[in-house]
Amino acid sequence: MNGALLFLSTIVLPYFNQTFRIFYFLPLLTKRGKLVLRIDSVFYILVIIAVLSQINLMYSYYNGIRTESDLSIQHIVSFNVLTPIAYIIAQQFKPNDLRIFIWLFVIDALFVIAQSYYGVSTFYTNIDGFEEFTNINDLVYFNRPFGLGNNASVFAEKLLAFVLIVHYLAKYYSYNMPKIALAIVTFAGILNFGRTAFIAILFFFAFSGSMKFLKSTVNKKVAYLLLIFIMSSFAIIFYFDQISIWFNEVIRQFTRGNESIDLAGRDLIWNDFVGFISNNLFLGNGSVKYFTDYNGQQATAHNSFLMIIASHGIIISTLYAIAILHSLNRKNIIYIASILVFSGAQYSIFWGISFNDIILFFFMGVGNENRNLRFLSSLKNKDDLYAFNLIARK
């Protein structure tokens, strides 16, 4: 159930043409007396962040540091108030919830393939970004299907989460996805062509492979790896010309046809954010999301770290860093590091509550099931640790 709700929060609903964040909160309402509350040191840090963010917002407004006339909810209540709630929501997910999510994502991938076949970005013609690919560009980046979400980046975020969850379920619960499902998602991922997701996924596999290699000794596995490396080296030398052509094509796709790396305007946006941060280091934008003007539109930093420092200042941002570093362990570092790599070129975490915030908080709990435990509440059974304890026993 929770996996389906998490997936629903990322898709565009018919007739509404937008996503609904209300689905984030429904896991708290569907537990039927089995709500798991793990109040640990990370939770306390997130509560402190929420309180300081609200104080920062009020102080900045009443002292004229922020002078917006718009008194919408985001200018009255800091979005960081939702962060501890997101942390609790992440605790409610069980292995079955994650299985439901990844299978729903396979359906999402089928929509990406269908949209590419029919030459449209999405089947929802009324949402921003709908486009018919009438003049097909040979650069995949400019022909990216959305799947069931409202833009291509949402599918890329879910693609990374899919890879991390599939690995996690296989490693700790011996659950293996059918190869046909993996093939469908791989093909859809190529069509969607989320460059940041690709980099994060490559980092994940490189990190995972390196950890396995370092744990191994000089045995058959190492011998096989060395053999594969030697054979691959000869193959590269023998087929150098052909590989060079393939490599150049891959680089051309990643740079969107330019001679150097194309950051899609991120370099200009990042410069503006760095300038704003240097002038507002401690309070940021008064705990209201800071946006810059780019091509006549408001733009995020496309970098979670710049975004949070610009919005909240260095003190609150440091507390976020402490919470993440405090949760790292040998079981979850590979997952958390991959999410952070992805967040270096996307505003994907530190929203207060979002899809990636919940995924991040879930993996922050992996391996920390019993560390610094202060209080656990379950209305029916105070020993109900199922959401976390299965891993702790392994």
Q: From CA 317, how far away is CA 341, in angstroms rounded?
A: 17
Burial of 234 from C-beta contacts in 10 A (0-12 / 13-18 / 19+)? exposed
In this prediction the pTM is 0.82
| DSSP reduced 3-state for 277 | helix
Burial of 365 from C-beta contacts in 10 A (0-12 / 13-18 / 19+)? buried
pLDDT at position 280 is: 93
Our separate counts of H helices and E strands in the chain read 16, 4
Q: From CA 288, how far away is CA 196, in angstroms rounded?
A: 26
Q: What is the DSSP letter of 12?
A: P
| DSSP reduced 3-state for 201 | helix
CB crowding 144-171: b at 16 or more within 10 Å, else e:
bbbbbbbbbbbbbbbbbbbbbbbbbbee
Q: From CA 73, how far away is CA 61, in angstroms rounded?
A: 14
Within the chain, strands assigned E span 37-39, 292-294, 297-299, 375-377
| DSSP reduced 3-state for 377 | strand
Q: From CA 121, how far away is CA 116, in angstroms rounded?
A: 7
pLDDT at position 38 is: 72
Strand partners, 293: 298
For tokens 């976390």, what's the residue? 388
Instruction: State which residues of the chain have pLDDT below 50.
Output: 67, 237-247, 249-251, 253-254, 372-394
Burial of 201 from C-beta contacts in 10 A (0-12 / 13-18 / 19+)? buried
Q: Which two tokens stand for residue 139?
A: 């650069």
Q: Which two tokens stand for residue 34?
A: 């089995």
One DSSP character per residue, 19-55 reads: --THHHHGGGTSSTT---EEE-HHHHHHHHHHHHHHH
Residue at 248: amino acid letter: N
Q: What share of the chain is helix, strand, coil (3-state, %, to 5)?
A: 60, 5, 35
* 80 close to 316: Cβ distance less than 8 angstroms: yes
Q: Enumerate the domain spans of the chain.
A: 2-217+311-392, 218-264
Cα separation values, 123 from 127, 186, 213, Å = 9, 21, 45
pLDDT at position 100 is: 95
* 75 close to 108: Cβ distance less than 8 angstroms: no
